[in-house]
Each structure stands twice: as structure tokens, then as C-alpha cells.
Amino acid sequence: MRVIDERLSLTSPSDRHSRADRRGRETTESRADGPTCPSSLIVVSNRQPYRHEYDDAASAAGDDQSAATATVETRTDGAAPEPTAESGDRSITVDEPTGGLTAGLDPVLKQSAGTWIAWGDGDADFDVADEQNCVAVPPDDPSYTLQRIDLSDEAVDSYYYGFSNRVLWPLCHGFTDLVEHRSNDLEWYRTVNERFAEAVCEHATADSVVWLQDYHFALASRMIRETVPRSTTVAQFWHIPWPTAATFQHCPAGRRLLEGLLGNDLLGFHVDRYVERFLDCVDRSLPAAAVDWGQRTVTYDGETTRVVATPMGVDTESYDRNARSSGSSQLSSLLERYDIERETVIGLGVDRLDYTKGIPERLAAIERFLEWNPSWHGEFTFVQTATPSRTEIQTYERHGELVRSEVKRINQRFGIQDWDPIVYTEDYLTATELCALYRRADLMVVSPLVDGMNLVAQEYVAASVDGDGTLVLSQETGAHETLGSQALTIDPTDIDGFAHQLERAVSLPAHERKRRMNTLRNRVFDGNLEWWMKTQFDWIRAVKTERHRSDSTRDTDSGADRDTDSDSDMEFGPHEPSSSV
């Protein structure tokens, strides 16, 4: 069992350089035409792209081999094996706990020889780094700098398991009853944001672009803005929902968070409604801020923040390719492992074990479906992979217990000899295993109660290379804005309606399934990760240009008549995506 806390990788490093077109034909196109960042890029994220770990099991096993020989570890997360380094007589494995985003940004950083600043959570991380905690990565072909922030257990408990995941996560998803107020969490969150901001300032030059990721850094942007040169660009992407003003009022230090985020030149969300809610919260909470609803800018404390919606996509080519290359033997061994009959109709759910993902509601709908449809007993199996996450937090622990007990109860209620309706696993699947399941699944059920975007729905579509699967999708996901019209939409809390959509999904005619999936694939490929990054970088270029323009106007007009509107005069920006994303 592997505990995961952030976005995960389905892309091994070697995968990233070869590409396939939408029909899966290999192309020779290089990544040189991929998204390029305007200037030297400094990425800030909680999770790091490369993690160094002592591999004591391997060291012990290798005792009778030459201590000087570098060994190659076979890893369980689907990424390519990395050579191990040696530290004293302990061997070190380089792990890539990369996510969709991490996998996408890594080549951009390599290309621009940029800097990545992240929490060093590997037990060997600081033993391989220099005095500034920097290490050149990737280890086999170093091309950019990873600076690791060393956090004490207390800092991690308060900043990560505290304010980030006991306050901001539930609050932004609208679970105000789950918000926990612990005395030191906010202060540690501020301190850790300050540590990251200081690290950024050590690297930032007048031409740098600083790009922060997610809700772990709501206070850092303003700290950075106040220290770096005026012409440095500061941008942030908020990967989770932004709550309504009524929910946001429960946020401790809400005004400080808004002020922090308004330290950015550019602030990105997945979809329009989060942008609108953010502007609404600013409008209500910060009287000194001027919100331009038409331009979607906020001018506060003499600086302007552009707020944009750019829905994140997945690395479509790698899912397509992995699905095509997943052979029948891979699928057979998975079906054998989980004791699933080859001919059965398969429903699939893939989630972090998180209370926002609507897993109990999904199980209730499956139970209702089975009550109504005895003819499907023995013919339909639902596979749920649920990877434990944030288990230090009691709410997550309890949620896991609830899910496990519901699976058990439903299986006891309907199971017959040789058939359980639900196959539940907390195994962490490799990228190819996951894609084999995506490809084989007749229906994919994505039922979050609230979800910023949801990458799983898009991964399923990208891996549905036979074009005949059906997506059952919650209306409460960001992904629904793009995919909803061709998916079977559900309200995850309406269990009867949900069960009806499951009935519909298992009986959709083949031509209907193909028609829907074809459109879904076009949308997911058009708005993929590469498109998302390119659009982000286009926006960054646009705000950078505007900043230079308004600065030179300031300089030349100082003392003379000045165009006082110049800060909000942003009639520019990247083109809209070619599809309906």
C-alpha cells in the first residue's frame, strides 16, 4: 500500500519524449515545439519532482555485492528505473513522485535550465544536496536546479496536515463542518510560506517568472512581490475550487489570504465559476481593492492581478500510448489478481481516498442498481481503487473505515459464490496497469461531491483507445464544464438518479457510446496538459508585457500627465483554446 498526497505520475521520464497522435500512431515530433516559458522559470510546489530515499532493503541485499557498484532499482510506481547513488554504504534510490503537472513541467524546466523549489521529504534528500540544499536534476542528466526546503516534523504537521489540509482543503470544497482550528497552524503556514518566499528571492532576477502551485502558498506571493525586482513576474495556479463568499467568510485570516494572492500578477483557476467567486470574495472583503469584472482584474495596493480560468488537461499522448501498449497478458494478470471474470461488464472508480471524491455515494448508487437489477448479479463488477492519502488526519482515517465497511456490507449482501459485486483495492497501480484498466472498463464512474477539475475523468477518455467506454460524471467537477454534454451526468447526492444513470450506462447502444467517446476524445486531446501549459505561459507573457508597459509609462510620465488607467488596461491575452474547453 502506498500513501499519496498530491497529484501522481502516470508518466515515466522516458515516456515523455516520444509522442503519439490521437489515434496512437507514433510521431517523430520532438518536445522542442512544446510549451516554452518566457524567461527563467522558478516553480514553487509543495511536492518535489525528484526525491532521494535510502533504500535499506536494497543495501542489505547488496551487501555481498561490490559496495561501489551502482545498482538499478525496479520501482513500483510505473516510472522507469533510476540508477541508485551510494552514500557511505547505504544505497540511495531516486524516486519521482511526479504528478500530471510535475511530469509536464519537468521538460520545460530542463529546457529553460530553471529552478524548482519544493519541500524535501525524502530521507536522503539533504545528504545529496549542497549547502544551499540544491541538487542538480534529473540525476542522470542534470539540467536544472531543485532547491529543497527542509521542514521540521512540527512544521509539516502544522503547515501541511494543519492549515493546508485541515482548513483550506475542506473550506475550499465547502466542507465547513470539517474545518479544524488548531492553535499554531496558521502561524506555521505563514512561516513556511516565508521560507519558500525567501528561497525564491535568492534565485529571482529582474527577468524571472515565478510560478507557484496551489493552496499551500496563499501567503507567499505577496511576500515575494515585496522583495523581488519590480519586473519579475509572479504567477500562481490554484488547483482546487474557490468557495462562495458565504463559505469563505468562515476562513480564518481570509483577508490576509486574499491580500497574499493579490501579490500575483496572474492568478489561475480551472473554471470561470471559481474566478467569479474569487472576485466576489475580494469585492466583499477588501474595500480598498478595485475589481474590474469585465477585464477580470483586481487593482490593490498599486498593483494589478489578472485572474483567469484555464482548465488543466492531462498528458493525453502518454495515456493513449500506455493504453495501446497494455497487452492482453497485463490485463489478464490484473483480472486474475482481482478475481474478475474475463467477460464481465466492468465499472471503474479511481481516486485518492478523500471525502470529497464521493465514494460512499457511489457505493450507495451501485447498491441501488443491484437492488433494482438482479439480472446483473454475477455479470457486473465494480472495481474501486482508493489510494490512502493524508492518513495522519482523523477525518481521512474515519472516511477510509466507512468506505471499507460499506464495500464489505454490499459484498456480503449481494455476493454469490465466485462473484463479489465490488472489488476494492488500496494498491497503488503502475501507470500501465492503470491504463489497462481504463481501457478495459466499460464505464468509468467519477462522482466527487466537489472537485476543482478531476484528472481521472480525462485520463479515462485519453486511455479509451477503443472508443467504446462510457463516462459517468458528477456535475460538481470542474471537468464537467467541458465533458458534461457527452458524459452521463449525475448529482452524486441523488442516489436514485445516480443508479438510473448506471442502468443507462450499462445499456447504451454501441453506436451511442462511440459517438459520445469520439467527441470526448477530441475535447480532452484539444485541452491537454500541453495546451494548458502553453496557455498559462501565454498569459504570463501578456501580464509581463503589460507590467513593462505600465512601468515605462510611469517612468516617462512621472510628473507629467499620466495615463491613470494603464494598470488595468489589459486588452490582450492568449487566444482561447481551439476546442470548447
- Looking at 212, 266, 431, 437, which residue binds ligand GDG (CB under 6 A)? 431
The distance of closest approach from Cβ of residue 217 to ligand GDG in the complex, given in angstroms and rounded to an integer, is 14
Residue 268, C-alpha cell as written in the block: 489561475
C-alpha triplet 446, 449, 454: angle, nearest 5°: 45
Binding of residue 10 to ligand GDG (CB under 6 A): yes
Question: Smallest Cα–Cα separation from 206: which of 230, 189, 227, 182?
Answer: 230
The distance of closest approach from Cβ of residue 239 to ligand GDG in the complex, given in angstroms and rounded to an integer, is 3
Binding of residue 239 to ligand GDG (CB under 6 A): yes
Binding of residue 568 to ligand GDG (CB under 6 A): no
- Tell me whether residue 62 or residue 347 sits nearer to ligand GDG (CB atom): 347
List the beta strands (DSSP E) in 478-554. Answer: 488-490
Helices (H), 5-156: 56-61, 100-112, 153-155
The distance of closest approach from Cβ of residue 486 to ligand GDG in the complex, given in angstroms and rounded to an integer, is 19
- Looking at 282, 434, 461, 581, which residue binds ligand GDG (CB under 6 A)? 434
Distance CA 438, CA 330 (A): 13
Question: Smallest Cα–Cα separation from 424: which of 396, 443, 403, 442?
Answer: 403
- Tell me whether residue 289 or residue 463 sits nearer to ligand GDG (CB atom): 463
Question: Smallest Cα–Cα separation from 199: which of 249, 147, 267?
Answer: 147
Stretch in the footprint of ligand GDG (CB under 6 A) among 84-92, 256-264, 449-457, 515-523: 449-457
Distance CA 544, CA 234 (A): 9
- Tell me whether residue 116 or residue 428 sits nearer to ligand GDG (CB atom): 428
The H helix count followed by the E strand count for the chain is 19, 21
Binding of residue 210 to ligand GDG (CB under 6 A): no
By DSSP bridging, strand 290-292 and strand 90-95 are: unpaired
Distance CA 47, CA 7 (A): 9
- Tell me whether residue 101 or residue 228 sits nearer to ligand GDG (CB atom): 101
Binding of residue 312 to ligand GDG (CB under 6 A): yes
The DSSP-derived string for 2-13 is ----S------G
The distance of closest approach from Cβ of residue 81 to ligand GDG in the complex, given in angstroms and rounded to an integer, is 16
The distance of closest approach from Cβ of residue 206 to ligand GDG in the complex, given in angstroms and rounded to an integer, is 30
* Cβ–Cβ under 8 Å, residues 536 and 237: yes
Coil vs helix vs strand at 133: coil
- Tell me whether residue 216 or residue 547 sits nearer to ligand GDG (CB atom): 216
Binding of residue 456 to ligand GDG (CB under 6 A): yes
Binding of residue 8 to ligand GDG (CB under 6 A): yes
Distance CA 130, CA 540 (A): 31
- Looking at 387, 432, 464, 528, which residue binds ligand GDG (CB under 6 A)? 387
Binding of residue 383 to ligand GDG (CB under 6 A): no
Distance CA 470, CA 379 (A): 17
- Binders in 82-121 for ligand GDG, by CB under 6 A: 100
Question: Smallest Cα–Cα separation from 578: which of 517, 528, 536?
Answer: 528
Exposure string of 448-470, with b = 16+ CB inside 10 Å and e = fewer, is bbbbbbbbbbbbbbbbbbeeebb
- Looking at 235, 267, 307, 429, which residue binds ligand GDG (CB under 6 A)? 429
The distance of closest approach from Cβ of residue 446 to ligand GDG in the complex, given in angstroms and rounded to an integer, is 8
- Binders in 240-269 for ligand GDG, by CB under 6 A: 240
Binding of residue 459 to ligand GDG (CB under 6 A): yes
- Looking at 35, 78, 97, 263, which residue binds ligand GDG (CB under 6 A)? 78
The distance of closest approach from Cβ of residue 362 to ligand GDG in the complex, given in angstroms and rounded to an integer, is 14
- Tell me whether residue 135 or residue 429 sits nearer to ligand GDG (CB atom): 429
The distance of closest approach from Cβ of residue 568 to ligand GDG in the complex, given in angstroms and rounded to an integer, is 28
The distance of closest approach from Cβ of residue 77 to ligand GDG in the complex, given in angstroms and rounded to an integer, is 7
User: Which residues, including other chains, have CB under 8 Å from residue 492's CB and lie 6 or more apart?
Assistant: 358, 361, 362, 447, 448, 449, 474, 476, 498
- Tell me whether residue 145 or residue 389 sits nearer to ligand GDG (CB atom): 389
Stretch in the footprint of ligand GDG (CB under 6 A) among 38-46, 411-419, 428-436, 519-527: 428-436
- Looking at 148, 352, 523, 534, which residue binds ligand GDG (CB under 6 A)? 352
- Looking at 297, 310, 330, 385, which residue binds ligand GDG (CB under 6 A)? 385
- Looking at 455, 461, 495, 542, which residue binds ligand GDG (CB under 6 A)? 455
Residue 164, C-alpha cell as written in the block: 493546508
- Tell me whether residue 12 or residue 208 sits nearer to ligand GDG (CB atom): 12
Beta bridge partners of 373: none
- Looking at 55, 73, 185, 451, which residue binds ligand GDG (CB under 6 A)? 451
Q: DSSP label at 28?
A: -
Number of residues counted as binding ligand GDG (CB under 6 A): 23
Binding of residue 454 to ligand GDG (CB under 6 A): yes
The distance of closest approach from Cβ of residue 132 to ligand GDG in the complex, given in angstroms and rounded to an integer, is 30
Question: Smallest Cα–Cα separation from 525: which of 577, 473, 472, 489?
Answer: 577
The distance of closest approach from Cβ of residue 298 to ligand GDG in the complex, given in angstroms and rounded to an integer, is 22
Torsion of CA 53, 56, 58, 63, to 10 degrees: 140
Coil vs helix vs strand at 146: strand
Give the amino acid at 556.
T
- Rounded to 5 degrees, φ, ψ at 117 are -115, 125
Stretch in the footprint of ligand GDG (CB under 6 A) among 5-13, 45-53, 219-227, 412-420: 5-13
- Looking at 428, 460, 498, 537, which residue binds ligand GDG (CB under 6 A)? 428
- Tell me whether residue 71 or residue 316 sits nearer to ligand GDG (CB atom): 316
By DSSP bridging, strand 19-20 and strand 26-27 are: antiparallel
Residue ranges that bind ligand GDG, judged by CB under 6 A:
7-8, 10, 78, 100, 239-240, 312, 350, 352, 385, 387, 428-429, 431, 434, 451-456, 459
